[in-house]
Amino acid sequence: MGFVYPNEVEINWGLFIVLYPYLTGLVAGAFIVSSLYHVFGVSKLKPVSRLALISALALLLVAPLALISHLGQPLRALNLMWTPNPTSAMAGFGYIYSFYLIIVLLEIWFMYRKDLVEFAATREGWTGKLYNILTLGAKDISPAALHTDHKVVSALAIIGIPSAAFLHGYVGFIFGAIKANSWWSTPLMPVIFLLSAIVSGVALLIVVYAVTCWLRKVKIDFDCLMTMNKYLLIFLILAFVLEILEVIHMAYEAEEEWPAVKGLITQVIPFSYFVVQLGQMVMAMFLLFMATFKRIPAKIRQIMTIVSGASILTSVLAMRFNVVVGGQLISKSSSGYTRFHWPLWHEGVIPTIGFLILPFVILFVLVRVLPPWMDGGAAVSVTKRRGAFVPKPVPVRGKLSPAEPTGGELWERFVVAVGRNLSRLGLRGVWREE
């Protein structure tokens, strides 16, 4: 279509590279949900706090596989670690990924340590031996030891928040720093990637939580689902506004590359951009907003929230495709467009579907070993931790109901939580509690 150079016929970054930012985004978003409970004290998210971490681990184990498979020689991926190029943004992936993986593994271990010890003592056969190995010999479950575990979980969650932001924000930085591509080169790209990551992670957790409740024949915690609805709606509005502002800014500047970008979104990828990406975001925002009306039956509000989560997952996947593949469709001549072919094998549709299914297979195994929906205090309870901040109950029709924290209260809790954990690490001279 139009004039293209001969070496632009083949698209170098295909579906596997589309999957990489998509899966890492799901990881970051799921971890944020867990941190809302462990750091900010949003107690209504307790039913999904451990499920969020287990889901993040399952996705984290699969996220680099598509990227490594794309290399052709997967063992060369280690060269990024052994001989990194300090001037390359891509060189930081191995270190950022490894650090974040360690944070997630440590947080899960400290969170489940009591359960691992109890399982090792009560289970027989190879399962008991497995749990005994997972305890790593730390079998002290006295109140003092569990209190220390709770403090470590909080500290790791605080460290994990910026780590999750770096993990996915740097992916947007890589695309945004490519000056030669007019569709990629924008300062908003890292922020858009990060917000869409949070959106997709929360949406995935909504769908996974609903499906697991259905499979276990357990009633969905309505307050938990509506709390995720609220945060998903907030982040979705921010992500949608920034994506629209990005295109409006390009159109208003009307630089020499704008006709090529305009032709891309109106002629080459109009369906995936306007219908699948933006259209489903608008539909999800409408459903999420309607689900906040208490006059609507609770069952309908649940369905609206779950459908919104599923549509957002498709929308964000389309966004990743439109960015990664769409940017390569613009010819360097700015006078034409290449075509993307959908292969079945190699880096095609079938292996891509396999990579999308694999995290759920791993999640199925993980939840069999580390059940995330155990009641009775197995999860870290923010209401019982010393120094935890719990919303003050307010009377509603003669009953006590926990008040939802505002944005300012969440920020204040984050700052104070950081200070408390610094003081517990011995930095009392730096932070003084009032």
Residue 211: band (very low, low, confident or very high) from pLDDT cuts 50, 70, 90: very high
DSSP single-letter state for residue 142? S
Start-to-end C-alpha separation, the chain: 67
Residue 305 CA to residue 295 CA, distance in Å, equals: 15
Domains in the chain, ordered, with CATH?
16-400 (1.20.1630.10)
**CA distances in angstroms from 329 to 39, 167, 188, 192, 333, listed in the order given:** 43, 26, 21, 21, 11
Q: Is 2 helix (H, G, I), strand (E, B) or coil?
A: strand
Residue 63 CA to residue 58 CA, distance in Å, equals: 9
Is the CB of residue 345 less than 8 Å from the CB of residue 351? yes
pLDDT at 345: 84
Q: What are phi and psi for residue 58, nearest 5 degrees?
A: -60, -45
Torsion angle of C-alpha atoms 108, 109, 110, 115, degrees rounded to 10: 100
Task: Report which of residues 326 and 428 the model is more confident about.
Answer: 326
Residue 9 CA to residue 331 CA, distance in Å, equals: 9
Residue 104 CA to residue 334 CA, distance in Å, equals: 44
| Alpha-helical segments (H) within 264-404 | 270, 280-290, 298-329, 349-369
Angle between helical axes of 46-70 and 222-253 (0-180°, round to 10): 40
Q: Give the H or E element holding residue 229.
A: helix 222-253
Residue 13 CA to residue 70 CA, distance in Å, equals: 8
Does pLDDT of 275 surpass 90?
yes
Angle between helical axes of 15-38 and 143-176 (0-180°, round to 10): 140
Residue 386: band (very low, low, confident or very high) from pLDDT cuts 50, 70, 90: very low
**CA distances in angstroms from 49 to 32, 107, 120, 226, 305, listed in the order given:** 10, 12, 23, 15, 18
pLDDT at 358: 96
Task: List residues bridging with 358 in a β-sheet.
Answer: none
b (16+ CB within 10 A) / e for 30-51 = bbbbbbbbbbbbbbbbbbbbbb
Residue 34 CA to residue 200 CA, distance in Å, equals: 14
Q: Is 402 helix (H, G, I), strand (E, B) or coil?
A: strand
Residue 421: band (very low, low, confident or very high) from pLDDT cuts 50, 70, 90: low
Radius of gyration of the chain, Cα coordinates, nearest whole angstrom: 23
Residue 255: HSE in the Cβ half-sphere, 13 Å Cα cutoff: 13
Q: What number is the average pLDDT over the span 254-281?
A: 91
Q: Give the H or E element holding residue 227.
A: helix 222-253
Among 27, 187, 171, 32, which residue's Cα sits nearest to residue 92? 171
307-357: pLDDT as tens digits: 999 999 999 999 999 999 998 888 877 677 888 888 888 888 999 999 999
42-101: pLDDT as tens digits: 889 999 999 999 999 999 999 889 888 888 788 877 787 788 887 777 777 788 888 999
b (16+ CB within 10 A) / e for 219-256 = ebbebbbbbbbbbbbebbbbbbebbeebbeebeeeeee
Average pLDDT across the chain, whole number? 83
- Judge residue 426's burial from the number of C-beta atoms within 10 Å of its C-beta, 0-12 exposed, 13-18 middle, 19 or more buried: exposed
Residue 175 CA to residue 170 CA, distance in Å, equals: 9
Tokens of 68: 């490594």
Is the CB of residue 21 less than 8 Å from the CB of residue 168? yes
234-251: pLDDT as tens digits: 999 999 999 999 999 889
pLDDT at 430: 36
Residue 345 CA to residue 365 CA, distance in Å, equals: 27
Among 199, 244, 207, which residue's Cα sits nearest to residue 225? 207
